[in-house]
């Protein structure tokens, strides 16, 4: 018969075990919760990846990359200054007057997502529907009656592709500034110098042709100190899936850029082609995501193309030219939903790959670092804008808006926009969403300042999109509508920020 003391001792041991087990469980729970909170806190800002649509990384079987401004990040504004100078020299070589060389690139003026009006030479900032937010002729910002003279409805037909050209890429920054420089010296419809008259439309065509001639000296403007991190991430991606490169550049230019990018003293030196399962140059995106072109193999010794269409299997470290997104899927043995494509071009990389092929998409937005910095440093301006917006909403009635509050709203909007640069934020004008922001929300599943932000996430990570409410109007009370209009986190952002939903 067991002694009473031993029974009590057994109870004490059992109780101690339960307490220790419970303590460990609580500790692990707190550690996980606090760790997750700390993880998110540390990544708030330019290291974070933002989410428009939920994406489970463990379901991605293939990672695709663009090259320029994605894998190869150029130093800004050094790169744009050099590209602007080269562009000026090319135009002078084909007969443009030497006076255009007088302009020096100002990085505070251009921003992505502007629309060039080839009829009047104006640069326009518009929303998704074509409503004008900002209008400049040269470097002069037009207001009121001046805008109405050009655009009586303060609206443009975005589908008029012969007249209105969207400058969505980082490459477009230099030509954006050139259009402003030309209009600054020109008249309403073109550039006049002595007996020479050049319409803005023909100038646009000349600039586009000049922009299609890259040069190897751009290597000197590649960002330094990022190469080891690039190879680290590519190696990690190859451990969990396949990796391919699809660029519009030709092989010789691609080889020069990538050789420079992967030429560093640290770690194991490998040929840059060994980091990819498939390399495709001359893709001619966005045509690449539709019918594409003939797929040919590149002779990597000479840079020339082998004769005939390539019909064989995927070869290790081989380079191909042309083709289509369907051919990429066939060669790699994957489907559209298996691919996460990473690029900086909202139209050529993101919109078309999403709409035509259903690829998952990641948009590189280097401007995010500056946007987040302004968001943090000028939070009082955002709060003032929100308060004025709420005040004006309450003030609207049979008599319309009072002039004084409207003037204050315009003043605060201008002050806030100037924090970003002369053209304001990439994502909005005041509280109104830009065309670029709308396209980003619609077509980019993920976006960040750099693709290297993946280094801070495990490849089992689930990117979960924030919940959204679709308002149908009839089922909502006026109070709920008002609350929806005035919700600060919804309109002016949390970290999914800056972009107004």
- Residues contacting 76, CB < 8 A, separation 6+: 107, 170, 366
Peptide bond just before 184 cis, omega within 30 deg: no
How are strands ordered across the β-sheet holding 114-117? Answer: 140-141, 132-137, 122-126, 114-117, 164-167
pLDDT tens digit at each of 501 positions of the chain: 555 555 556 665 555 555 445 545 444 444 444 444 444 545 556 789 999 999 999 999 999 999 999 998 888 898 899 999 999 999 999 888 888 899 999 999 999 999 999 999 999 999 999 999 999 999 999 998 999 999 999 999 999 999 999 999 998 999 999 999 989 887 777 877 778 788 999 999 999 988 875 554 555 555 544 467 899 999 999 999 999 999 999 999 999 999 988 887 666 678 999 999 999 999 999 999 999 999 999 999 999 999 999 999 999 889 999 999 999 999 999 999 999 999 999 888 888 889 888 999 999 999 998 888 887 776 676 676 667 666 666 665 545 555 556 666 666 666 677 777 889 899 988 778 999 999 999 999 999 999 999 999 999 999 999 877 654 444 433 333 344 433 333 333 334 445 644
Pairing of strands 190-193, 446-448: unpaired
Q: Known binder of ligand: residue 68? A: yes
Question: What is the b/e burial string over 192-214, where b = at least 16 CB atoms within 10 angstroms of the residue's CB?
Answer: eeeeeebebbebbeebeebbeeb
From 66, 117, 127, 282, active-site residue: 66
CA–CA distance, 468 with 490 (Å, rounded to integer): 9
Residue 446's nearest CA partner among 491, 496, 403, 381 is 496
The label of the residue with tokens 């952002």 reads 493
CB atoms within 10 A of CB 485: 13
> What are residue 118's phi and psi, to 5 degrees?
-70, -10
For every residue of 440-464, DSSP letters joined together read: HHHH-SEEES-GGGGGGS-TT-EE-
- Residues contacting 417, CB < 8 A, separation 6+: 423, 424, 425, 429, 430
Q: Is 417 a catalytic residue?
A: no
Q: Known binder of ligand: residue 66? A: yes
CA–CA distance, 229 with 222 (Å, rounded to integer): 14
DSSP H/E element including 137: strand 132-137
Q: Is 68 a catalytic residue?
A: yes
pLDDT of res. 482 = 40
From 68, 117, 255, 417, active-site residue: 68
Residue 234's nearest CA partner among 361, 349, 65 is 65
pLDDT of res. 268 = 67
The label of the residue with tokens 């709308």 reads 438
Q: Known binder of ligand: residue 445? A: no
**Alpha-carbon dihedral angle through residues 241, 360, 284, 181, given to the nearest 10 degrees:** -120
């Amino acid at each position: 018969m067991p002694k009473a003391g031993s029974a009590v001792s057994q109870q004490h041991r059992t109780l101690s075990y339960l307490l220790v087990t419970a303590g460990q469980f609580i500790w692990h729970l707190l550690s996980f919760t606090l760790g997750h909170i700390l993880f998110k806190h540390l990544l708030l800002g330019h290291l974070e990846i933002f989410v428009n649509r939920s994406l489970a990384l463990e379901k991605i079987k293939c990672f695709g990359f663009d090259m320029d401004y994605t894998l190869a990040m150029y130093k800004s504004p050094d790169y744009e200054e050099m590209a602007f100078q080269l562009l000026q020299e090319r135009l002078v070589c084909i007969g443009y007057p030497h006076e255009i060389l007088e302009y020096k690139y100002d990085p505070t003026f251009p921003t992505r997502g502007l629309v060039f009006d080839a009829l009047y030479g104006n640069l326009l900032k518009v929303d998704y529907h074509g409503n004008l937010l900002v209008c400049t002729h040269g470097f002069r910002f037009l207001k009121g009656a001046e805008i109405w003279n050009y655009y009586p409805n303060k609206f443009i037909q975005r589908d008029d592709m012969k007249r209105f050209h969207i400058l969505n890429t980082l490459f477009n920054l230099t030509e954006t500034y050139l259009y402003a420089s030309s209009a600054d010296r020109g008249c309403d419809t073109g550039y006049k110098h002595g007996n020479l008259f050049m319409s803005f439309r023909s100038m646009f065509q000349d600039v586009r042709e000049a922009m299609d001639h890259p040069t190897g000296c751009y290597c000197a403007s590649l960002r330094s100190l990022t190469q080891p991190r690039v190879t680290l991430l590519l190696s990690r991606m190859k451990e969990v899936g396949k990796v391919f490169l699809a660029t519009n550049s030709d092989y010789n230019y691609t080889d020069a850029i990538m050789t420079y990018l992967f030429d560093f003293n640290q770690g194991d030196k490998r040929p840059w082609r060994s980091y990819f399962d498939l390399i495709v140059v001359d893709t001619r995106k966005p045509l690449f995501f539709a019918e594409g072109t003939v797929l040919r193999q590149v002779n990597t010794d000479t840079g020339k193309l082998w004769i005939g269409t390539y019909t064989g299997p995927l070869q290790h470290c081989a380079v191909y030219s042309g083709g289509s997104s369907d051919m990429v899927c066939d060669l790699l043995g994957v489907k559209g939903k298996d691919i996460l494509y990473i690029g900086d071009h909202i139209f050529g990389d993101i919109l078309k790959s999403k709409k035509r092929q259903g690829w998952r998409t990641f948009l590189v937005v280097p401007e995010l670092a500056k946007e987040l910095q302004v968001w943090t440093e000028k939070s009082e301006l955002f709060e003032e804008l929100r308060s004025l917006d709420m005040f004006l909403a309450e003030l609207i009635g049979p008599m319309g808006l009072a002039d004084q509050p409207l003037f204050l709203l315009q003043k605060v909007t201008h002050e806030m926009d100037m924090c970003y640069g002369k053209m304001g934020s990439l994502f909005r004008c005041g509280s109104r969403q830009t065309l670029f922001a709308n396209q980003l929300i619609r077509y980019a599943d993920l976006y960040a300042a750099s693709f290297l932000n993946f280094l801070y996430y495990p490849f089992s990570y689930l990117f979960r999109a924030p919940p959204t409410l679709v308002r149908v109007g009839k089922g909502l009370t006026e109070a709920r509508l008002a609350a929806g209009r005035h919700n600060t986190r919804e309109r002016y952002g949390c970290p999914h920020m800056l972009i107004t939903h």
